[in-house]
Structure 1
Amino acid sequence: MAEFRIEAFPPEMRGITPLPGTPKPPAAPAAESGSKPSGEISFRDSMSNFIHDVDKLQKDSADKITQFIAGDISDVHDVMIAVEKAGTSFQLLMELRNKMLDAYNEIKRMST
């Protein structure tokens, strides 16, 4: 991954201040040659966490729908937001799956 330095940006962009209340990005860890930083997350762990998050969003949206039907929630807006979040996350997961399968098939094709 390319590392961006502030000096690479035009002067008018260097003076941009972040919005109040926005979190600061974490500092980049110092890379040691040949060793993996202790805080680095593997691709497998990252995908596993994402799948777990999508599953949780799906279950939360199903719960909100059930609560809305039962009359426990009167605000349809909250229900629709939960459903859309779950749907968008699932669509992203499917796109990631498709891209990974495409990459796998391309590698398989190149090795034959």
Structure 2
Amino acid sequence: MIPPISAIGALPVPQVAAPAAATATPGVDFGGLVSNSLQQLQDLQSTSDNLAVKAATGDLTDIHDYMIASNEASVATSLTVAVRNKAVDAFTEIMRMQM
């Protein structure tokens, strides 16, 4: 049964922690994060390529492994391209600012 509207105000409100202030964590640099992300993308692509070769030669026993690796590589590539496009857009917008 649905509670009456007057009872909705009496429902408990979940407590949400306040977001932490945007502070730089010591020892983590942006260049290192980008480099690690690109290396992970390269690893996903290599895994997908290796499994594709095994599937084509008949050495792969479970085709699901190749399909999963292929989709993971595809999604990671799409994400990387989207982030790159946003970064280029942001840079272009900054360059258009007048001082």
Matches within 5 A, 1:1-112: 10-11=14-15, 37=26, 40-111=27-98
Kindly provide the amino acid, as one letter, of the partner of residue 55 in structure 1. Answer: Q
Larger radius of gyration: 2
Residue correspondences, number: 83
Which ranges of 4 or more aligned residues in structure 1 deviate by more than 4 Å? none
Q: What is the Cα deviation at residue 79 of structure 1?
A: 0.5
Question: Taking structure 1 as the reference length, what is the TM-score of the superposition?
Answer: 0.65
Give the alignment's Cα RMSD to 1 decimal: 2.6
Q: What is the Cα deviation at residue 36 of structure 1?
A: 6.0
- Stretches of structure 1 lacking an aligned partner (at least 5 in a row): 1-8, 15-27
Q: What is the Cα deviation at residue 46 of structure 1?
A: 0.4
Q: How far apart in 1 are the matches of 2:78 and 2:90?
A: 18
